[in-house]
A and B are shown apart, each in its own frame.
Chain A
Amino acid sequence: MEAERAEKTRMMTEDYSLFYGDFKALNNINIKIPTNKITAFIGPSGCGKSTLLRSFNRMNDLIPGVTTAGTIFLDGRNVAREDVVELRKKVGMVFQRPNPFPKSIFDNVAYGPRLHGTKNRSDLAVIVEKSLKRAALWEEVKDDLHKSGMSLSGGQQQRLCIARAIAIEPEVILMDEPASALDPVATLKIEELMNVLKRNYTIAIVTHNMQQAGRVSDYTAFMLTDEKRAGNLIELGPTKQIFTTPSDSRTEDYISGRFG
């Protein structure tokens, strides 16, 4: 608890609710995402964890009929009032299925920085190398930067997407089941990478794999739908505690497989 209090908060929600039309999908979520830590969101399908994750960089803005209540803060600033392009520069996202652009490895990583105004080829080369190194992919692709990003293996493609996300120097990386489409070896590589990345970035990850949440995260948030099918945050705590002595019996039931 002491350590928890000492931590800085990168993102925070305050009484945040999200509606699809009349349907309330997220109910009054209050959560803090600590800086330079990995926070994992677990819970059964449909509990709203991906919806919440996508709220952090306003990806839900694109869905028709979505309205929200409450506030989400990034470094104390209301994300709803930020310029959305700037926000997504600060809060990057990695998806379940690797989705490289049909471009070269170099151009995939250089895409974001170019969009944000870096035109100089040698500056871009520096960013590409640094990002690929941070994504633990550099050694594998440094001689093939001109090759298509699509030619890489699934695990490499996902690391390329991570490199692409970090090329624009975000503060937060959101990962929506980043390893669920990968084999165990590629999964472990991504998990190791996350552990390195958290030195520089704040990470929030949605995962269905509880062992993965246990292995990689510092904090775990458990979400569950209520009787009206709205997603609620049930418990947030240090991962070690959630997996050994959760305070809420619903968390215990879920992680022990007595539920869902």
Chain B
Amino acid sequence: MSRESFDRELQELKRNLFQITSEVRKNLTASVKYLEKRDMQGAAMIIESDEIVNLKCLEIEEQCLNIIATQQPVATDLRLLFSVLQISTEIERIGDYAKGIARISQKIGPGELIKPLLSIPRMEEIAGEMLDDAIRAFTEDDETAARNIPARDLQIDVLYNQVHRELITFIMEKPSNIEQTMMLDWIAHNIERVGDRVVNICERVIFTVTGVPVDLN
């Protein structure tokens, strides 16, 4: 029984997953950057780029199905494929959050924001780093890293609550700000969800390595 082609296929699959993660990570950071800069063209580029991410996710799914059908994987291989399928869904959803931020940014329009952004970019920074580390943990089968990353999601949650309260104060102070305030809250919520999705990825990493399903959320 030769595993050469099988191993090659698995490596390629991991590479493809890594590639879409980089793409999504770039979009996530850019979405907040363009929001701050009020860059409408940039926002449009993110929305366009998400289409490619979605297509690549479908390709990964097809690749997984082909491998399952032709190689009958078991044990770690099977868990790996199952995890790739799940992680690619998480990545695709994170991509959707970045696209969502770009869309909201477009809705807000090119005018000035009601306040300079502080916590939202910080949230994005933490979530982005978590995503980088989670996908690295996956490619390196690093269970310890996967167990440590989710703690950082708490920082995102704390920041989100802070942003939320701050925005409510804004509405109370000046009810005419309500529309943009709600949109910014929506953006912060999107980033908060990114943190949760990364935690899910960490769970898949642990499952791949140990075979034991865990709930870290």
Contact = CB atoms under 8 A, between A and B. Distances in A.
Q: Check if A and B associate.
A: yes
Contacts of B78: 243-244
A257 B75 contact: no
B109 interface: no
A258 B2 CA distance: 8
B76 A252 contact: yes
Interface in A90-115: none
A252 B211 CA distance: 12
B211 A257 contact: no
A256 B75 contact: yes
Interface in A201-260: 210-211, 214, 243-246, 252, 255-258, 260
Interface residues of B, number: 15
A245 B74 contact: no
Contacts of A244: 74-75, 78-79, 211
B122 to A, nearest CB: 40
B174 interface: no
Contacts, number: 34
A243 B211 contact: no
Interface in B1-32: 1-3, 6
Interface centre among B73, B74, B210, B212 (most CB of A within 10 A): B74
Contacts of B210: 245
A39 B108 CA distance: 65
B72 interface: yes
Contact of A256 (B3, B211, B212): B3
Given A257-B1, A258-B3, A260-B1, A214 B75 contact: no
A31 B3 CA distance: 31
A210 B74 contact: yes
B77 interface: yes
Nearest to B7: A258
Given A244-B211, A245-B211, A252 B3 contact: no
Contacts of A243: 74-75, 78
Interface residues of A, number: 13
B77 A256 contact: yes
A257 B3 contact: yes
Nearest to B3: A257
A246 B75 contact: yes
Contacts of B6: 257
Interface of A: 210-211, 214, 243-246, 252, 255-258, 260
24 contacts: A210-B74, A211-B72, A214-B74, A243-B74, A243-B75, A243-B78, A244-B74, A244-B211, A245-B75, A245-B210, A245-B211, A245-B212, A246-B75, A252-B75, A252-B76, A255-B74, A255-B75, A256-B74, A256-B77, A257-B1, A257-B2, A257-B3, A257-B6, A258-B3
B141 to A, nearest CB: 14
**Which residue, B72, B75, B76, B210, has most C-beta atoms of chain A within 10 A?**
B75
Contacts of A257: 1-3, 6
Name the 7 nearest CB pairs between A and B, nearest first.
A245-B211, A257-B1, A243-B74, A255-B74, A252-B75, A257-B3, A256-B77
A125 to B, nearest CB: 44
Interface string B196-217: 0000000000000011100000
B76 A256 contact: yes
Contacts of B1: 257, 260
Given A244-B78, A256-B77, A258-B3, 5 more contacts: A243-B78, A244-B79, A252-B76, A256-B73, A257-B1
A245 B82 CA distance: 14
A235 to B, nearest CB: 12
A231 B212 CA distance: 31
B47 to A, nearest CB: 40
Nearest to B72: A211
Contacts of B2: 257
A168 B96 CA distance: 66
Contacts of B72: 210-211
Contacts of A256: 3, 73-77
A246 B75 CA distance: 7
A239 to B, nearest CB: 11
Contacts of A210: 72, 74
Contacts of A255: 74-75
A245 B78 CA distance: 10
A103 B30 CA distance: 81
A211 B1 CA distance: 14
